[in-house]
Amino acid sequence: MTDSVSPGREKVQQVLDWAVAEVGVPGIVAEVKDANGTWFGSAGVADIKTGRRRQPGEYVHTGSSSKALTAAAVLQLEAEGRLSLDDTVEQWLPGVLNVNGYDGNKITIRHLLNNTSGLFATGLAPELSHRYATRSGFAKHRFDRWTTDELLKIAVSQPPVHEPGERFTYSNGGFYLAGAIIEKATGNSYAEEVDRTVVQPLGLTHTYVRPADDTGYPNPHPRAYSGLFLKDGVDPADITAENWQSLLEEPALAPLDVTEFNSSWGWAAGNVVSTTGDMIRVHNALASGGLLPPDQHREMWTTVSTEGGSWMPHARYGLGLFELDKAVTGGLTLRGIGGSFWGSHMAIVGTSDGEHTIGVHTNTEFKTWGILFKIIEAEFGTPAIEGL
């Protein structure tokens, strides 16, 4: 089962083995960068049919880890004097938010990027869930291509869940709007601006925004497997942020190979392809202040509480990224980026100086926070978190 290609870090390796044997992850990798260099470990397989092992440098879908790159692009535009985080959405996208009870004059770019806009949880939109929530629906719609206009309409297709700035609610829709503002402010595509402001400055050679018609990955890459489907007979309209996990298929069912898939609906909220190595570089630059000017770095790490937001426990949210509660890290400041997508889950966590970082990827979507927190405990020596 184990396929660790570097010596050491036995505790981390034990967690990788546990994730495969006990949680049901097909394959998992961990890559560490610190003062001693790089360590890589893996468990499970990249391909269930062939038994091919996972390896360093694999291209994978980063899911909502992409939000950190979107936020960084916006902040760079602010540093260039082309917009302000306190600009309203109405200033840049007149009329787009003025439906279903939203008010574009009250929602700012900052609200979009820290998930306090009041936009509903976009992933629960019927337009999405009816296409992808069941195996049959996924098979029918897996190559559907989404336009920016369609995504902006989905973002406001349900009423707001609270007033702007009132509290945290995780919403892809806010990042769709941020992507549209990037394009409006620059006259360039979202992909071009992420490349200009993040990819090129950091020298990322294996990172790109996935083109809207792309359905595959460069080599090497793992196969992607999903069990994120509803039970037979469940109406997607009944899904809520509180009950969705209880409505999923039984975990004993064989996962579906979802490697070939059009992920254009992720767009500025989550459609970047990268490697754990490149994403560690992104994390380290954003965590330490190595990419953005001081004012924008400070804004990125001005965090809000995520309590009650149906998201990651023990964390506060900045602009597209998170910082763990020191009560569960033994006082250590640990910052991170992460995201889940069909057949892919990535998390990058490290110290705020960017000197000690671990990147983790599974070739299936989010299973349990236990994987990440056990790895953090093993790598950084943090206290065990009860209940995980």
Domain CATH for 83: 3.40.710.10
Q: Calculate the CA 226 to chain-centre distance.
A: 16
pLDDT of residue 1: 34
Tell me whether residue 388 is in a domain.
no
pLDDT tens column, 318-345: 999 999 999 999 999 999 999 999 999 9
The confidence band for 309, taking pLDDT boundaries of 50, 70 and 90, is confident
Tell me whether residue 253 is in a domain.
yes
pLDDT tens column, 147-197: 999 999 999 999 999 999 999 999 999 999 999 999 999 999 999 999 999
Tell me whether residue 5 is in a domain.
no
pLDDT of residue 189: 98
> How far apart are the C-alpha atoms of 217 and 223, rounded to whole Å?
10
pLDDT of residue 45: 98
Tell me whether residue 117 is in a domain.
yes
Closest CA to 350 of 35, 135, 15: 35
Residue 16 Ramachandran class (φ > 0 left, ψ -120 to 50 alpha, else beta): alpha
pLDDT of residue 243: 81
Average pLDDT, stretch 46-57?
Answer: 98
Which domain does 362 fall in, by range?
10-380
% of the chain at pLDDT higher than 90: 84
Tell me whether residue 44 is in a domain.
yes
Local structure of 281: helix, strand or coil: helix
pLDDT of residue 4: 35
Closest CA to 210 of 199, 225, 201: 199
Tell me whether residue 237 is in a domain.
yes
Average pLDDT, stretch 130-146?
Answer: 91
If you average pLDDT over every residue of the chain, what do you get? 94
Q: Count CB atoms within 10 A of the CB of residue 134.
A: 19
Give the number of domains in the chain.
1
pLDDT of residue 5: 41
Is the pLDDT higher at 134 or at 240? 134
pLDDT of residue 388: 61
Res. 2: pLDDT tops 60: no
* CA neighbours closer than 13 Å in the CB half-sphere of residue 39: 18
Res. 206: pLDDT tops 70: yes
pLDDT tens column, 77-95: 999 999 999 999 999 999 9
Tell me whether residue 192 is in a domain.
yes
pLDDT of residue 348: 98
Res. 280: pLDDT tops 80: yes
Average pLDDT, stretch 266-278?
Answer: 98
Q: What is the pTM of this model?
A: 0.95
Res. 3: pLDDT tops 50: no
The confidence band for 250, taking pLDDT boundaries of 50, 70 and 90, is confident
The confidence band for 387, taking pLDDT boundaries of 50, 70 and 90, is low
Tell me whether residue 387 is in a domain.
no
